[in-house]
Structure 1
Amino acid sequence: MKVKALSRSTADYTRETKSDIQRLPRNVDPELHPLERAREYKRALNSAKLERMFSKPFIASMSGHIDGIYSMAKNPWDLDSIITGSGDGELRMWSLSSQQTVWRAPEAHRGIVKGVCNVPGGESDRFLSVGADKLAKIWSRSESAVARDGVTPETIATYSGKQPFSGIDHHRSRPLFATCSSLVEVWDVDRSEPIANLSWGADTINTVRMNQTEVNVLASCGTDRSVILYDLRTNSPLSKLVMTLSTNAIAWNPMEAFTFATANEDHNVYIFDMRRMDHAASVLRNHVSAVMDVDYSPTGQDLVSGSYDRSIRLWDVNKAHSRDIYHTKRMQRVFCVKYTQDNKYVLSGSDDSNLRLWRARASERVGIKSNRERASIEYAEKLKDRYKFVPEVQKVLRQRNIPAVIKKASQTKQIMLQSRKRKEENERKHAKSNIKPRVPERRKAIIGVTNK
C-alpha cells in the first residue's frame, strides 16, 4: 500500500531568533487578491502624506559673521569643513558636525571677500581667497595665531593683481589657480605674476570655474552677458555664448565633463552641453527673481540654486520644475549655495550674515537603518512613483508652504508669460506675411554663439 504524506521543512515556518517576526504563508495568485490595486493606492497615499509630515529640511543656522556671506567653498577631501567669506573681509572655517567656527581671519581682506577655494590634496589644509583689495592670499588652517580671538593669522603667500578680483578657482591637480577681474588670469602658486592672461571682451568677469573632470577647460561669465570657455593647453578661448541677460554663476557637472549649469538674471537656471551651445540642454524655471548661485550634487543628478527672492530650490536635472523649495522667515537674499560631498546636505549663505544647513531630502533621516526599514522605504518610494499622477497623491506630493510674496510674484509672472504667449499667437494668426517662426524655450535666451 502506497501512502503519500505531506512533507514540510521546519525552516519555512520557524524563526531563527526570538526577535524575528513570524513567517506567514502567502499566496501571490492575483485571483485571490482582487483589491490589490486599491490597497496599493491607499499605501501610496499614506506614504505621500507621511513624506510631507516628516518633511523638516532645516537643521541649523550658524551665526558669527557681522556682514553678509557672499562666497563659499567646500573641501572635497573633508566632509566636515566649509569656508565662507563675508562682506566685511572676514574669513571663517566651520565644522558642520559641531556647527561652530574652527578658524577665522577677521581682517583677511580690505573690503568684500569675492571668492574662496581649497588647494587640492588630501593632506592639504590650505585654501585661497580673493577680495576687492586686488589681493589673492593663501591661508593655512594650522596657523597657531587663530587660537587667539581677534588676531588675523599670517598668510602663506600673497599675490597682487592690477584690478579688483571678482572670483577664484583652483586646478584639480596642478599648482595652478585662476582669478577673474576684467580678464581671466592663470597663476602658478610659485610665481608672483600670472603665467597666462585669457580674455575675449572688455567687460568685468563675475565668475571663473575650472572643470574638475576635463581639467584643461575652464569657464567664465561676465557682465556683458557672455559665457566663455577657455583651453589651458593653448591658453586661448574656445567659444563664446551671449545671452539676453547676464549670468551670475557657473557650475560644472562632476559626472559629465561636457555639461555645466548657469545661474541667470532672468530667473532661470540653464544647463548647457559645451559641444552644442546654440541651445540649452534644459531650462529650469521656478524662481521669481535673479538666480545668484548654483551647484551640482556629487552624483550630477541634482542641482541646488539660491535666488534673490530669498529662497533655495532643489532640482532634478531631468525636470524643468523644482522638486522642493526651502525658506525661513529670517533668511534674506541668498548669494551662495553648496551641496556637501556626501550628497546628504545643502548649505546656503545669505546677506543676513548666517550660514544655514539643510537636508538635501527634506523627509530623509540619517542613521543606520535595518534591512526591514530600508525595504519599507524603498517600497514606499516605488509606490509613490507608480501613483504619482493620481490626482490625490499628486496633490499631496506637490503641496508646499510658500511665502506670500513669492506666491504672489509667481502668479504675476505666470500672467505675464501667458499674456506674452497669447500676444505672439495673435500676431501669428492675423499676420498676412512675415510670420515669425516659433522659437523654442531652450533658444529664447541665447543671442549667439561664436567659436574660435
Structure 2
Amino acid sequence: MGSPITVQKVATLTGHQDCVYTLEPGGQPNIFYSAGGDGMVVAWNLDNPEQGELVARVSSSVYALRWLPESGLLLVGHNQNGLQVLDVAGKKIIKSIALGGGAFFDIAHASHLQKIYVGATNGTLTVLDSQDFQVQQVKQYSTKSVRSIAVNAARNELAVGYSDNLIRILDAETLALKLELEGHTNSVFTVVYSPDGQHLLSGSRDAHLKVWQTNQSYQEYASNIAHLFTINNIVFSSDGQYFATCSMDKSVKIWDARTFRLLKVIDKARHAGHGTSVNKLFWPARVNSLVSCSDDRTISVWDINF
C-alpha cells in the first residue's frame, strides 16, 4: 500500500560552517532559529527561507536553544560558558549565566511555573527562574549526561532522558524523583510528551522508539525499532495528529500519532534528503511544513501533503 503522504523539499538553507545541532521556534509561526558547531545563532523566516540572519555568535558549539515567549528572549546553551540570554531583536547577549557541568544538551521551559531547566553532561539538572535567571536548584540523579527534558504542565511533571539509559520522571516544582523508566538499552537522546499529555515518547541510541502511557504510571505501551541508528529527536505536529523522528541514519520519518504507525520515510535516495546525521526537527504551526537540520551543515524545509 502506498503512503497517503507526498513530500517535497522546498528549500535548502545554507550558511552554517559546521554541523547544525538545534532548531527552535520563534515568536511568530514563520520564524525559527538554528545553531550548531560554528557558534552562530541564525534567524530564519519560512516565508522567505533563503535569507538567514545572524543574530549572535558565541565562542563554542551550541547544542540547545530555548525561546521564552513571555519575554521574547532566546536562551543559548553555550558549551563553555553556561547559558547566554539573547535579545534577538537587539541582536545582543544581555546576560551570561555561568553554569558548571560541561556541555548543555537541552533546555526546557515550564511557563506555568516560571522555571527553566538545563541539562548538562555531568548529569546535573539546573533550575533557573525564567524572570531573573537566578539559579533556584541543582539536582543530580546520575553522573551520566542529561540528554533531553520534556515538560508536562497538566501533570506538573518533567521527563528527563539520561545517558545511563533511564528516563526519570520528576516533580516539576521540587525535582523529587517519582519514577524511573527502564526499557532502553542505550542513551536516551530525546523525550517528548504528546500535545494531549497522554503519552510520553522516547528515542534512544538503541534506535528504539518507545511510547509510555502517562496515566497508567508510565507503562510501556509500544516499542518500535524505528531507525537503523540513534534517534536524535522526536517532534509532534501542532494538531497532535502526527509526529516525526530523525536519526543518525540520515532519515526523517513521519508517524501517525494515534496508531504509532509509520507513514513516510524522507531520505536522500527518494527526496534529496540529508547526507549525514539528522539532528533536530521543527514542526511549525502550519502542519504541512517540516524543518530538519543535519551534520551536513544544511537545514531542509519540507512540504508535506497529507
TM class by shorter chain equals 0.7 to 0.9
**Separation in 2, partners of 1:209, 1:160:** 22
Structure 1 unaligned residues grouped into runs of 5+:
1-55, 61-96, 147-152, 367-452
Q: Which secondary structure state, in structure 2, belongs to the residue aligned with residue 166 of structure 1?
A: strand
Name the structure 2 match of 1:119.
26
Which aligned segments of 4 or more residues in structure 1 are displaced greater than 6 angstroms?
A: none
Question: Is 1:104 aligned to residue 2 of structure 2?
Answer: no
**Separation in 2, partners of 1:191, 1:266:** 40
**Separation in 1, partners of 2:174, 2:77:** 25
Q: Spell out the pairing of 1:43-58 with structure 2 (5 A cutoff).
A: none
**Separation in 2, partners of 1:304, 1:240:** 25
**Separation in 1, partners of 2:66, 2:193:** 16
**Separation in 1, partners of 2:92, 2:98:** 17
**Separation in 2, partners of 1:297, 1:269:** 16
**Separation in 2, partners of 1:116, 1:242:** 27
**Separation in 2, partners of 1:289, 1:253:** 24
Q: Which secondary structure state, in structure 1, belongs to the residue aligned with residue 93 of structure 2?
A: coil
Identify the match of residue 188 of structure 1 among 72, 87, 110: 87
Question: When the two structures are superposed, what TM-score results if normalisation uses the length of structure 2?
Answer: 0.77
Q: Spell out the pairing of 1:14-163 with structure 2 (5 A cutoff).
A: 98-105=6-13, 107-121=14-28, 124-143=29-48, 153-163=50-60
Residue-pair matches, total: 259
Deviation at 1:363, TM superposition (A): 7.4
Give the share of equivalent positions with the same residue, in percent.
18
Name the structure 1 match of 2:115.
217
**Separation in 1, partners of 2:260, 2:129:** 42
Name the structure 2 match of 1:6.
none
Q: Spell out the pairing of 1:293-308 with structure 2 (5 A cutoff).
A: 293-308=190-205
The structure-2 alpha-carbon separation of the partners of 1:225 and 1:202, relative to structure 1 and needing over 3 Å to count, comes to closer
Q: Which secondary structure state, in structure 2, belongs to the residue aligned with residue 332 of structure 1?
A: coil
| Structure number with higher strand proportion | 2
Q: Which secondary structure state, in structure 1, belongs to the residue aligned with residue 164 of structure 2?
A: coil
Structure 2 unaligned residues grouped into runs of 5+:
264-306
**Separation in 2, partners of 1:158, 1:179:** 11
**Separation in 1, partners of 2:260, 2:108:** 32
Letter of the 1:324 partner, please give it. A
Deviation at 1:254, TM superposition (A): 4.1
Letter of the 1:184 partner, please give it. L
Deviation at 1:160, TM superposition (A): 1.1
Name the structure 2 match of 1:436.
none
Name the structure 2 match of 1:207.
106
Q: Which secondary structure state, in structure 2, belongs to the residue aligned with residue 356 of structure 1?
A: strand
| Structure number with higher helix proportion | 1
Letter of the 2:191 partner, please give it. V
Deviation at 1:357, TM superposition (A): 0.9
Q: Are the equivalent residues in 1 in contact too, given 2:24–2:32 (CA < 8 A)?
A: yes
Deviation at 1:296, TM superposition (A): 0.7
Question: Is 1:243 aligned to residue 141 of structure 2?
Answer: yes
Identify the match of residue 210 of structure 2 among 313, 316, 319: 313
Question: When the two structures are superposed, what TM-score results if normalisation uses the length of structure 1?
Answer: 0.53
**Separation in 2, partners of 1:157, 1:356:** 30
Q: Which secondary structure state, in structure 2, belongs to the residue aligned with residue 128 of structure 1?
A: strand
Name the structure 2 match of 1:360.
257
Q: Are the equivalent residues in 2 in contact too, given 1:255–1:299 (CA < 8 A)?
A: no
Deviation at 1:162, TM superposition (A): 2.4
Q: Are the equivalent residues in 2 in contact too, given 1:217–1:231 (CA < 8 A)?
A: yes
Name the structure 1 match of 2:152.
253
Q: Deviations over 1:12-40 (max 9, x none)?
A: xxxxxxxxxxxxxxxxxxxxxxxxxxxxx
Name the structure 2 match of 1:226.
124
**Separation in 2, partners of 1:162, 1:193:** 14
**Separation in 1, partners of 2:52, 2:230:** 31
Q: Are the equivalent residues in 1 in contact too, given 2:160–2:168 (CA < 8 A)?
A: yes
Q: Spell out the pairing of 1:245-284 with structure 2 (5 A cutoff).
A: 245-256=144-155, 258-277=156-175, 279-284=176-181
Which segment drifts farther, 308-317 or 229-238?
Answer: 229-238
**Separation in 1, partners of 2:211, 2:51:** 39
Alpha-carbon RMSD across the aligned residues, in angstroms, is: 2.6
Which fold has the larger relative contact order, with Cα–Cα distance below 8 Å and residues 6 or more apart in sequence? 2
